[in-house]
Amino acid sequence: MPSYLVTGGRGQLGSDLGALLGGHAAVLGRDELDIADSEAIERSLAEHRPEVVVNCAAYHVVDACETDPAPPLQMNVVAVAELARACTRNGARLVHLSTNYVFPGDRDEPYGEEDLPDPRSIYAISKLAGEYAALSYAPRAIVVRSAGLYGEQGNASKGGNFVQRILARAEAGEPLRVVADQRLSPTYTPDLAVAIIEAVEAGVEGVLHLTSAGACSWHEFTEAILAEAGVEAEVTPAPTEPKPGLADRPRNGVLARPRADAAGLTPLRPWREALSAYLAGS
């Protein structure tokens, strides 16, 4: 197995990659490597000499991006460009994480890797620009688009991942009103970590879509969470209500994976099966 360096190593995906790779990886949180610091990037690459760098670091406070675009543009674009250049100089492959938000979500069919992106928010624009930076400055890069991530670590910036937040609200007796007209493939990060390593070992390059199999609305996902956890609560379906100053979300955020399938990569297990494993502590 090649040696890895994982940025954003304290987050959901980064921590799961670290657990899977063990001694083959240097897993660095932002306190250890801020990718917005180009000198820190060079020092880390010189110290650890990785063959593969997986960039899980990002600015993803989606609505805040609309009122202050400087942080996402710095972290999701400029820093990615610097990281990609550094990887090329040091002979390391780059794997960069992106999002289904790069698509508008205004059609019924899932979006494949070759479909033309059309971002509709500052966050999505920054992530798409980061993809271009990664692919331009690190020619052997893999850009992995995924969606609805949840894992063992939780999401510190949001007070836990979606599953944790729903269960906490239900157990507290809070009303649950969840959008029913946005569809996606919620993705379990331990499964995504396995898929990323498989893609690296297969020598795949370019854009890949890697999500849990199948799709659901956020409302359907919420009902599944409660059912799998054995928690009774009423969930009211709600329509998407665009609000001034908040980012647009794709109505259809489901990703197809023709390039990943053509490369012979193993599909991730269905989202409901992955959710059951997560709640069972697997």
Q: Write the DSSP assignment of 22-70 as a string of letters.
A: GGGEEEE-TTT--TT-HHHHHHHHHHH--SEEEE------HHHHHH--H
Phi, then psi, of 219 in degrees rounded to 5 = -65, -45
Total residue count of the chain as it appears in this document: 282
Give the β-pairing of 52-55 and 4-7: parallel
Pairwise CA distance, residues 169 & 161, whole Å? 12
Q: Which residue has the tokens 């854009």?
A: 207
Residue of 123, 137, 150, 188 marked active site: 123
Contact 63/15 with Cβ under 8 angstroms?
Answer: no
| For the chain, the helix, strand and coil percentages under 3-state DSSP, each to the nearest 5 | 45, 15, 40
Contact 71/62 with Cβ under 8 angstroms?
Answer: no
Pairwise CA distance, residues 211 & 271, whole Å? 9
Q: What is the DSSP letter of 78?
A: I
| Six-digit token string for 74 | 């710095």
Contact 184/215 with Cβ under 8 angstroms?
Answer: yes
Pairwise CA distance, residues 15 & 32, whole Å? 14
Q: Which residue has the tokens 């620009």?
A: 129
123 is catalytic: yes
Contact 96/131 with Cβ under 8 angstroms?
Answer: yes
Amino acid at 193: A
- Report the catalytic residues: 123
